[in-house]
Structure 1
Amino acid sequence: MAGLGFDDLLQQAEQLTTTLDGGTELPRVQRNFQQLLDAGQRLCSKSNFGQDDAQIKASLLLSAQGKDVPKVSDRLKSLTPAQSFEPLETVCDTDIESFLKNERENAILAVVEEQKQKTYAEVEKRHWQTRLNAWEKEKQQILNKLIGNDGTMNFSQELTEQMSVSYYRSSVDTTSNPGSNMDSWELAYARQVHMYNDRIIEGGLPLNLSELCKNAAEKMKDKNLFSVWKMVNYLTDVAAGVGQFPSILAQRTSKSVLVAFIAQARKFLEDNYVEYMLNTVYARPHIAQRGGVPGTLNLVKSFLKVQPTHNLMQGYDDGEIDGIPLWAVIFYCLRCGDLDAAVDVAKQNEHIIPEFYTWIQEYAHNNGRKLSSASANKMKIQYKRSVSGSADPYKIAVYCIIGHCDVTDVHTEVAKRAEDYLWIKLSQVEVTDKPYADDLLTLYRLQTLLVDEYGESHFNAASNPLLYFQILMLTCQFEQAIEFLSRFEALRCHAVHIALALNVQEFLLTPLSLHAKMLTCDPVDNSACTIIKKLNLCRLIMMYTRKFELTDPREALNYFYFLRNVKSEGQSLLAHCTSELVRETGEFEMLLGKLNPDGSRKPGVIDKYCSKDKEQLRKLISKVAADTEAKGLHEDAVHLHDLCGNHDQTLTLLNRLLSMVISSSDDSHPDRSRLKHLSLSIAERYRNHAVETSQLLRSTFHLLLDLVSFFDLYHANRVEQALDVMRELQILPSSTEQVHSKVTAFKLYSDDIRQNIANILLATMNLLVRQCKVQQNLNKSVVTKTGDSVFANARQYARALITFAGMLPYHLPGDATARLVQLEVQLN
């Protein structure tokens, strides 16, 4: 063909044209290019390649399984009515074959329809169950983050202006500690908690946390809260321990323990009333005329002179003592808790009340303050016959207290305050397994009466929350009392520390689930003796510390230490809270410590709580490191893994971080310089101290550091030094003979190296181009053989890089390959 001229080609073309024209019956069609293009597009639009291709593939698949495609298609067409899964219509009864066939198909369709409905129902059920579970978890997280919120979405009520400013303030008083979110009360409590924890950590006998908090209240000079802590001290002074019972629940439902709680509550009210009487007498000494005679009887007489009771008396027949009604003196002796004084008064008037003297003597000498059945029955008979209709309210009250005569009477003329009413009821209450026994005021009935029938509105709890709190506490409803007090933001710190004081004494009931509401009631734990509810102490502590954990992380850790024995996901809740605290505050070094350049560790705040168990400390820091890594804070996680001795994980994260920045320059990537210095310091320390790590991780780490040095030289335009570093690393082939061996070696590199191979190839190729340009500029002035050898070596190097890139078992970006080819062309 090369020897043919234009004339010969023209002759052959004419012969081909003649051949087409001759001997054919088809008409000759003449079209230009546009007409041919339009015809082709019309033909293309008429054919559905995707559908035909799908049908062909389906036919091949069914044929490979031995299915006859035409027959299958016919059978499917015959079942067309079944697409809606509706029963087929019945046929004539005489057509047995068609009838049976129809019934069979109807049965099949019914089964399919039933299964379809079951599937839809199951899918919908699981869908909503999943959605509800997800919402429940989200709701719990929101509740945990809301300060001032209880478990039932009952937000704290606004405090009225009538409340005392001393402990009902809404603003934070930080004058004693500027820069802190803790007010003076919270700081005072925190100091006591710090003292308590220090004694526990030192291994000494634990201090009385309730006593410590009472001392704090005394220093704050708040009488109301001092009285609250005095009450808590009385209640925690019950001689009971969980060691005698299988559980705290068994202890709290024990009759003996409940009786002891009631006795302590009654004693608290009696001692408080003695103080009240003394203050009243000392306030008006000229009227009281107490003199120098000590004793309860003289105090009662002086008190009744200051607050006379004659206005309550329309008439009395049982005499008087020094002008004071007899029954009033006996009542107030009982109110002060001095039974011996009441017995002396009855003895002096035995000639007037002989039977009562016998009963009160028996009542006083019984440790349980309870009459025998015979005496109680006699006293109740006498009460119904003569005493119930008496005009003396004190006589009625005394009979009801000692003989438990009428437990429904509220004694409004005698019980002038809520404390008086509660003392009378506690004097009548009995602990029994029959909560609604006739003629008995059981503890269960009293608790139900105060909470369900009277409730918060009756006691005006919103305006005077401490009163309602004391009523709940004194009736052995500790959990409800603390939950109620915690609703008020200004009183939450007191509720938290009261809960801690009860918890360390093992008197507080807590739920098993950490995600439970603030106050829960499990029907399984019901008791006939008392109402049982559980307080989520963990949530209460975390809700309380969230206010100041960012500004006072040390104090927050002190409270988290109380959660050290609570397990969550197999780990101590202390570790979970510490992990969150470290991540929220960012105070890694202050809380967890740091490593010095010589490899020694500088202790952190957390060391105080793990001083006796280094393995526990390591696990705690490891937990924080894992959580920090899961949150995506990889650089912080590097420090933490290194701190707890997880050297392999330290190198793993460092390799991951370095691989993302090695090809950049320090100026273009702000994190590169910091990561480089961190990696170099760790590498030097690991080498000096011979730290054992995985060989693969260590080799990858050092190779990445070398690549960092290579790219530093590359960006600094130090061509020869950068090329020398790359030759020493032996990652890339410098000749075609090395390509196969380098490709094989490339397979052994980790992904941290392989994902940067495109940047390494481009940087090396750019260096070769720069080297040739520099040499070319030198050759313009002086022609040397060295210049020719530089060009030859660069071309050989570039050809090897192109071949290496093409043989890599790794997908390179398309623009990288194109760029490599362009740079290689510049060398020719």
Structure 2
Amino acid sequence: MAGVELDDILQQAERLRADLDGGDELPRVQRNFQQLLDAGKRLRTGAPTTNDGAQVKASLLLSSHGYEIPQISDRLKTLASAAQSLEPLDPICDTDIEGFLRNERENAIIAVLEEQKSKSFESVEKAYWKTRLSEWEKEKQNILGKLIGTDGSLNFTQDFSTTRPSNSDYLDSGLKANTRSLMDAWEVGYARQVYVYNEKILSGSIRPNFVDLCKVTAEKMRDENILSLWNMVKCVIDARISSSEKSVLGRRLSNRVITEIVKQARRYLEDAYKEYMRKCVQARLQTAKLGGSLNALNLVESFLKVKPPQVSGHSDANWAKLYFCLRCGDLEAAQEIASRIRGSTPEISGWIDEYMNNGTLSPNSKHQLQLLYKRTVRNGGDPFEIAIFCILGCCDVMESHNEIAEKTDDYLWIKLSQVCVEKTQSSHSEVLTLSKLQAILADYGESHFNAAANPLLYFQVLFLTYQFEAAVEFLSRFPDLRCHALHVALALHEADLLIKANNLHDALVSSKQSDQSQLTTVQRLNLPRLLMIYTRKFELTDPREALNYLYFLRDEKHENESLFMQCTSELIRETGDYALLLGGLNPDGSRRPGLVDRYCQGSTKELITKVAQDTESKGLFEDAVLLYDLCGKYDNALKLLNALLSPLVPNSDQAHSDRVRLKELAANLAHRYRAMSVELSTDLQSTFYILLDLSMFFDQYHLGHYDAALDVINELHILPVKSETVQEKVRAFSSYSDEVRQNIGEILLATMKMLGARRKQLRSSSARDVAAVKAHARALLTFAGMLPYQLPGDITSKLVQIEVDML
């Protein structure tokens, strides 16, 4: 090495490097110092290279595409650290254009991820607080609803204890809502009036008007819309209905009832419009210039000053006054205005007189009016005159009168005034029947009346056009209005105007082809279903209020069974509050009355039996035992209790928690039945007491008290002690019930194990005692082999093994 110059070594190194750079056979491979050091050590020591071949191949592959492993490794570490923190990458030298662009691209990706992360956290936080605020708002409304007093003001002295008022103090203290009640203010107010209504019926007093009671609630809540709803319902229901039809369907389809209902619907619209005119006039007294008494004529004239009609063409003021007098229902004022009209229609005064006296025109007068209307009036251009002729003579029934019928109420009033119920000689196409009006409104549909945004308006449209059931069903779709819908249905039901579905499982509203008539279309409402949907909200927290509503079904039948009984049974099973609703047993065995006694009126035991049967069919056997015991069906109680005790008898109290509870229940029943000298079925009673004694036997066995356990089983005389009694015990075995026989294997095994333990204790005793134990065991084994009952295979083998061990 001494003869070689440093310049020569440098030149040789450069040539080697040039050869490597210029060669095409192998790609250039770069290694860092640590890799070179590791490779040198392996070559020096001759150690095998585990993954060296794979790494070399990877390096060759990546380097052939221009990627260097050291650079890639460092870059990946940088990206991994950046991905965790989502921080921008460190800037690189400005002269590295490719690296700069790659760095900018990666920074842009990281910025987008960071932005989306921030937006996601912000969105989640907003959704969280929105949900919490919504829940708090509902809770505030619930608390405020519970604090509403009887006068509609907040009452902070109300009792929020969990105890409920008794029947005697209900009216004095009002409906005391506990802290868990789910009833809102409207539901509490209606429930109070329902209680008052039922109390009057149960006490034999004069039945109050249910609608008036509901109006009291609306007045206390100070809701003008709901108060108008009840005013409408009251006006329609108060129709003077007199029909010889006994069924509700026959009554609803009769001409006389339809006529009265339509008349009352029209009267409600007239009274409501008169009140509307009065409010308009009082709001602008200076413009109205109201002078003298506030009679209908002065009111109409003042109203026309406040709101002059906006109609096209020439309009006679007298025709406008006459229309508004008819619109507010004052026919006397209309007669006075008609007497002022002269000129082309002198007959109008006589027609108004006839309309006022009879409520309609005679066929002759109607024919004259229709002829005059077709000749001159229809093309006369005065919209008020046209509307009056159409109302009096039922002309152009398809005309909407848009110029003067500005609101839905005006349109309904005009159409109801044109409805013809009685038979007429005119062709069907020229007569507007109630059925045809209902079809016209159905064609308009809910969207035309914006029913989703204003459900009370569409409810009024349906209700005033004799579609009571459809109106109730529509209103019940809105959870906030369901309480009003139900109570309207109850009001119709109490007025014998509600057509109810025949099947409890029908849809909420259904119809039958046989129910239809040429005059109107009727539907059937599933009242029990609507009522149960309503009470399901609060039946668990307020069962007594739910029971008050179910009392409305006392006269309804389903499959020849009282619907009140069926629904009350379901209510009791759902709540599980048997003590409150059904009462309990006193120590002397007498029954303590519950809430249902007030409503059942002597048939409480029948209801309890129904609840017990339904509870048993649902698999709630322990509850069924208590219910059968409560209603005096002692045999049913014992039968179920025997079936429950039988599989638990061989177990220990520690192995099965239900065993302790059932033993305590069985002991209480046994003690009370003996004290009361209850007459029971001999077989059931015998099985019951045997199962109790067997439970005591296994208790002693599991505690290790073998002598006491053997004494118990010997006193039962189920198993033979000697070989001579085997035949007798086998014959007696067939007389036992299944509940006892299915435990015979466990009884034999436990007894044999105790005899085996005694045999071990007697090894040093006299031969007589040992022989007695062996004879007892042999008798048990013989008894097991002769039984007409298939024992489990493992039981038989264990018995034989124990008997062999005694030898």
TM-score (norm 1): 0.74
Moved over 6 A (4+): 169-172
Match of 1:522 among 503, 508, 512: 512
Distance across 1 between alignment mates of 2:770 and 2:743: 27
Match of 1:418 among 400, 408, 422: 408
1:826 and 2:805 matched = yes
Distance across 2 between alignment mates of 1:331 and 1:432: 25
Distance across 2 between alignment mates of 1:395 and 1:486: 41
AA aligned to 1:800 is: A
Task: Name the % identity.
Answer: 51
Does the Cα contact within 8 Å between 1:432 and 1:442 map onto a contact in 2? no
1:801 and 2:780 matched = yes
Distance across 2 between alignment mates of 1:172 and 1:807: 75
Does the Cα contact within 8 Å between 2:557 and 2:563 map onto a contact in 1? yes
* Residue number in structure 1 paired with 2:360: 370
Does the Cα contact within 8 Å between 2:504 and 2:528 map onto a contact in 1? yes
Does the Cα contact within 8 Å between 2:242 and 2:256 map onto a contact in 1? no
1:513 and 2:503 matched = yes
Q: Which digits, 9 at most, give the CA deviation of each residue in 1:493-539, with x for residues without a partner?
A: 21111111111211111222222222222111220111122122222
SS of the equivalent of 2:205 reads coil
Distance across 2 between alignment mates of 1:789 and 1:289: 128
Q: Which digits, 9 at most, give the CA deviation of each residue in 1:383-417, with x for residues without a partner?
A: 22332223322222222222223322211111111
Distance across 1 between alignment mates of 2:264 and 2:561: 38
AA aligned to 1:523 is: Q
* Residue number in structure 2 paired with 1:102: none
Distance across 1 between alignment mates of 2:333 and 2:272: 18
Work out the number of aligned pairs and report it.
638
Distance across 1 between alignment mates of 2:207 and 2:375: 56
Q: How do 1:715-794 and structure 2 match up within 5 A?
A: 715-776=702-763, 779=764, 785=766, 788-794=767-773
Per-residue deviation at 1:720? 1.5
1:284 and 2:253 matched = no
1:205 and 2:206 matched = yes
Distance across 1 between alignment mates of 2:207 and 2:768: 85
Distance across 2 between alignment mates of 1:348 and 1:510: 51
Does the Cα contact within 8 Å between 1:258 and 1:431 map onto a contact in 2? yes
1:186 and 2:187 matched = yes
SS of the equivalent of 2:142 reads coil
Distance across 1 between alignment mates of 2:446 and 2:232: 20
Q: Which digits, 9 at most, give the CA deviation of each residue in 1:211-264, with x for residues without a partner?
A: 21122112111111111111111111122267x313111111111100000110
AA aligned to 1:382 is: L
CA 1:707–1:170: 2 relative to 1, 3 Å: closer
Per-residue deviation at 1:185? 1.6
SS of the equivalent of 1:282 reads helix
Does the Cα contact within 8 Å between 1:172 and 1:182 map onto a contact in 2? no
Distance across 2 between alignment mates of 1:630 and 1:523: 37
Q: Which digits, 9 at most, give the CA deviation of each residue in 1:672-706, with x for residues without a partner?
A: 11101100110111111111110111111111111
Does the Cα contact within 8 Å between 1:393 and 1:411 map onto a contact in 2? yes
Q: How do 1:174-323 and structure 2 match up within 5 A?
A: 175-176=145-146, 177=177, 178-240=179-241, 244-309=244-309, 311-312=310-311, 314-316=313-315
Distance across 2 between alignment mates of 1:212 and 1:767: 75
Does the Cα contact within 8 Å between 1:564 and 1:573 map onto a contact in 2? yes
AA aligned to 2:616 is: E
AA aligned to 1:474 is: L
Distance across 1 between alignment mates of 2:140 and 2:249: 39
Per-residue deviation at 1:775? 4.3
Match of 1:489 among 471, 479, 496: 479
Distance across 1 between alignment mates of 2:364 and 2:572: 68
Runs of 5+ unmatched residues, structure 1: 1-164, 319-324
Q: Which digits, 9 at most, give the CA deviation of each residue in 1:711-756, with x for residues without a partner?
A: 1111121121111111111111111111111111111000010000
AA aligned to 1:708 is: S
CA 1:235–1:636: 2 relative to 1, 3 Å: same
Task: Tell me whether 295-304 or 483-492 shows the greater mean CA deviation.
Answer: 483-492
Per-residue deviation at 1:308? 1.6
SS of the equivalent of 2:236 reads helix
* Residue number in structure 2 paired with 1:503: 493
* Residue number in structure 2 paired with 1:428: 418
Q: How do 1:295-694 and structure 2 match up within 5 A?
A: 295-309=295-309, 311-312=310-311, 314-316=313-315, 325-349=317-341, 354-366=346-358, 369-432=359-422, 437-451=428-442, 453-610=443-600, 612-613=601-602, 616-694=603-681
Does the Cα contact within 8 Å between 2:687 and 2:737 map onto a contact in 1? yes
* Residue number in structure 2 paired with 1:96: none
* Residue number in structure 1 paired with 2:142: 173
AA aligned to 1:757 is: I
* Residue number in structure 2 paired with 1:156: none
Distance across 2 between alignment mates of 1:823 and 1:438: 100
Does the Cα contact within 8 Å between 2:503 and 2:558 map onto a contact in 1? no
Distance across 1 between alignment mates of 2:388 and 2:730: 103
Runs of 5+ unmatched residues, structure 2: 1-133, 147-176
CA 1:455–1:179: 2 relative to 1, 3 Å: same
TM-score (norm 2): 0.76
Does the Cα contact within 8 Å between 1:346 and 1:353 map onto a contact in 2? no
Does the Cα contact within 8 Å between 2:318 and 2:340 map onto a contact in 1? no
Does the Cα contact within 8 Å between 2:242 and 2:257 map onto a contact in 1? no
Distance across 1 between alignment mates of 2:756 and 2:191: 69
CA 1:460–1:171: 2 relative to 1, 3 Å: farther
Distance across 1 between alignment mates of 2:773 and 2:627: 46
* Residue number in structure 1 paired with 2:5: none
* Residue number in structure 1 paired with 2:10: none
Per-residue deviation at 1:345? 2.2
Does the Cα contact within 8 Å between 1:170 and 1:490 map onto a contact in 2? no
Distance across 2 between alignment mates of 1:570 and 1:170: 44
Per-residue deviation at 1:182? 2.1
Does the Cα contact within 8 Å between 2:311 and 2:404 map onto a contact in 1? no
Task: Tell me whether 479-488 or 421-430 shows the greater mean CA deviation.
Answer: 479-488
Q: Which digits, 9 at most, give the CA deviation of each residue in 1:524-563, with x for residues without a partner?
A: 1220111122122222222222222222222222222222
Q: Which digits, 9 at most, give the CA deviation of each residue in 1:764-794, with x for residues without a partner?
A: 1122223333445xx5xxxx64xx4432321
Distance across 1 between alignment mates of 2:714 and 2:430: 101
Distance across 1 between alignment mates of 2:294 and 2:248: 43
RMSD, aligned CA: 2.2
AA aligned to 1:290 is: L
SS of the equivalent of 1:412 reads coil
CA 1:345–1:433: 2 relative to 1, 3 Å: closer
Match of 1:813 among 773, 792, 806: 792
Distance across 2 between alignment mates of 1:260 and 1:225: 24
Q: Which digits, 9 at most, give the CA deviation of each residue in 1:638-690, with x for residues without a partner?
A: 00111111111111111111111111111111011110110011011111111
Q: Which digits, 9 at most, give the CA deviation of each residue in 1:450-476, with x for residues without a partner?
A: 11x212121111211111111111111
SS of the equivalent of 2:198 reads helix
Distance across 2 between alignment mates of 1:341 and 1:404: 21
Does the Cα contact within 8 Å between 1:350 and 1:357 map onto a contact in 2? no
Distance across 2 between alignment mates of 1:511 and 1:535: 5
Q: How do 1:42-81 and structure 2 match up within 5 A?
A: none
Distance across 2 between alignment mates of 1:200 and 1:413: 51
Does the Cα contact within 8 Å between 1:479 and 1:534 map onto a contact in 2? yes
Does the Cα contact within 8 Å between 1:485 and 1:495 map onto a contact in 2? yes
AA aligned to 2:780 is: L
